[in-house]
Amino acid sequence: MSHINNIYQLKNIGLSLWQALNLDRIPTELIIKYNAKDNLPWECLYHPSLGFIAKHIDYTLYRRISVASNPLPIGPLKILLFTIHQTSQRQIHLDIDIETQQIRSALTPFINAGMVDFYAPIAGYFSTLTELLAKKIWHLVIISGHGLLKNEQTSLVFSNEIGKTKLVTGNDLAKIFNNSKVRCVVLATCKSGQLVTDNLIDPLIKIGIPNIIGMREALIDRAAKVFIQALCINLAQQKPINLAVQAGRCAMTNLLSPNEIWDTIDDCLAEQWSLPILFSSEPRLINWNFKPDTTNRILKTKIFIGRKQELQTLIKKLQTKKIQRLLIKGIAGIGKTALAEQLTVNLVQDGYQILTTEVKNLEVNQIIILTSRDISLPNFYIYNLQRPNFHDFSRYIHYLGLAYEFPQILRIYQILGGNFRAVQLLQNLPICLDVKGLNKQLTIVQRYLQAELRK
């Protein structure tokens, strides 16, 4: 089916599908029997009085698949959020680190209550996914990134360590998910739910994955983030997958920022709610009757942007025990504390315990991470933190909502040396786009920053 750009066309298609069902009344749980050749957009179903069923919180809609049933695993709910690594040109369009942190932050109460285990690896290669599926049991695996539909074949677009593109097919996925005991796979990528000749869904059904979520058409980044977050929160609240997906669809109906209107953005944003397709045989993912373990608690941290290479390098050294005492050094405002916090979050994900009190008769992974402007300590691995690259710095400015354009951002980066604390000071001043006014403001910020450095 070609891409639908008009909501009225969507309504007409939905009415035709309703007429094809020929039902006297609509059940609250609408189940469409799965047919591998049925590529109709049932998620656009439109009821004459209720409207679009996929936008109605009191109803659910999914496609019933036939998969051998197995006993429900005992909780906690183990979630793997895997973001595919892309080449640098395409990575610009995905605020991957921000998305991951916002989802983790939303799940923090459930994580600290011992009801959810959440892991989001920094590396996003196919080899990484393969290794993670082999070494640990996951209940919910979410794969976020770019998808491709070409010549009747859907695939996921990966890049390897040297930047070479790898198209991963449904059969490739089936090989690494086989015998993994995963209860639900979410393919948050463009066109991943298309039932073309060589699709991503059928091979996962054949190996017995009881729940699969794919996307009918092109998925916009902000819609993917909203859907994934709503899905995870509702599952953490112990709802079945069909209710969680419906909550995700409803969340996708509100994608506009306060300053946006439909006429100023892509029309396809208005129909994103209709994209998630749920293929299900057993909507329950786990048995929630268990005693939670609250040992590994995490703290909510501020949004951390960039420094992916630093994170990968330092985490690898810490995990392999090449270093156990780390001292991050750098000037004030460069991001030392933020990096230390992000390292801590990732280490907790990997099972390392953060010691806050004296521990007796307990063997733990003891890692110490400190930060300093100029002090050195013996027996510590010294990591001299440099200023962030321009791309990460500009993303931080946009994240703060500062309406500077490229020339001004470049000027700010050059004058302030990529200093995050300086940007926070600049945030308190009115936006100034002319060169003379901006230079005056940067001089004021530099004086404040120098005063802080002398403290």
pLDDT given for residue 258 in this prediction: 58
Contact between 57 and 250 under an 8 Å Cβ cutoff? The reply is yes
**Residue 357 clears pLDDT 50, i.e. is over it:** no
The model's pLDDT over 401-435, given as tens digits with 9 standing for 90+, comes to: 888 999 999 999 999 999 998 898 898 888 888 88
Contact 149, 191 (CB under 8 A): yes
Indicate if the alpha-carbon torsion angle 273, 278, 282, 286 is positive or negative: negative
Tens of pLDDT, residues 103-142: 988 999 999 899 999 999 888 899 999 999 999 999 999 9
d(CA 401, CA 395): 10
pLDDT of residue 369: 86
Would you say residue 2 has pLDDT above 60? no
**pLDDT surpassing 70 at residue 260:** no
* Predicted local confidence at residue 266, as pLDDT: 53
Q: What is the dihedral of CA 264, 265, 270, 274, to 10 degrees?
A: 180
Distance CA 442, CA 287 (A): 57
Average pLDDT over residues 393-405: 88
Residue 303 has pLDDT above 80, yes or no: no
**pLDDT over 50 (residue 363):** no
Count other C-beta atoms under 10 Å from residue 126's C-beta.
18
Please report which helix (H) or strand (E) contains residue 98, including its range. helix 96-112
Task: Give the contacts of 158 (CB within 8 A, at least 6 positions apart).
Answer: 84, 85, 124, 125, 126, 145, 165, 166, 167, 168
pLDDT above 70: percentage of residues in the chain: 88
Least confident range of 14-18, 23-27, 78-82, 262-266: 262-266
pLDDT, greater one: 279 or 4: 279
- Ramachandran bin of 252, using left for φ above 0, alpha for ψ from -120 to 50, beta for the remaining angles: alpha
In whole angstroms, what is the distance from residue 343 CA to residue 310 CA?
10
Across the chain, what does the average pLDDT equal?
Answer: 86
For the ranges 168-172, 179-183, 388-392, the lowest mean pLDDT is seen at 388-392
Q: What is the pLDDT of residue 92?
A: 43
CB 72 within 8 A of CB 286: yes
- Of 415, 455, 453, 454, the closest CA to residue 333 belongs to 453
Q: Is the pLDDT of residue 362 over 90?
A: no
Residue 309 neighbours by CB distance under 10 Å: 10
Query: Within 13 Å, how many C-alpha atoms sit on residue 150's CB side?
Result: 8
Residue among 146, 128, 143 at smallest CA distance from 87: 146
How far is CA 47 from each of CA 44, 56, 85, rounded to the nearest angstrom? 10, 11, 41
Q: Enumerate residues 6+ apart whose C-beta is below 8 A from 257.
A: none
Indicate the pLDDT class of residue 442, thresholds 50, 70 and 90.
Answer: very high
pLDDT tens across 230-246, in order? 999 999 999 999 999 99
Quote the CA–CA distance of 237 and 438 in Å, as a whole number.
48
> Is the preceding omega at residue 73 within 30 degrees of 0, hence cis?
no
Contact between residue 201 and residue 279 where contact means Cβ atoms under 8 Å apart = yes
Lowest mean pLDDT among 123-127, 155-159, 344-348: 344-348
Q: Residue 410: its pLDDT value, please?
A: 93
**If DSSP states are collapsed to H, E and C, what string results for 256-319?**
CCCCCCHHHCCHHHHHHHHCEEEEECCCCCCECCCCCCCCCCCCCCCCCCCCHHHHHHHHHHHH
* Average pLDDT of the residues in 373-380: 85
- The angle subtended at Cα 59 by Cα 56 and Cα 61, nearest 5°, is 105
Q: Cβ neighbours of residue 65 under 8 Å, at least 6 residues apart?
A: 34, 205, 210, 212, 279, 280, 281
In angstroms, the Cα distances linking 330 to 21, 305, 308, 415, 453 are 65, 17, 17, 18, 11
Chain CA centroid to CA 308, Å = 15
Is the pTM higher than 0.75? The answer reads: yes
Buried (b) or exposed (e) across 11-25, using 16+ Cβ within 10 A?
eebbeebbeeeeeee
Per-residue confidence (pLDDT) for residue 261, from 0 to 100:
56
Q: Which long-range contacts (CB under 8 A, 24 or more apart) does 429-432 make?
A: 431/402, 431/403, 431/404
| pLDDT tens digits along 42-70 | 999 999 999 999 999 999 999 999 999 89
DSSP reduced 3-state for 400: coil
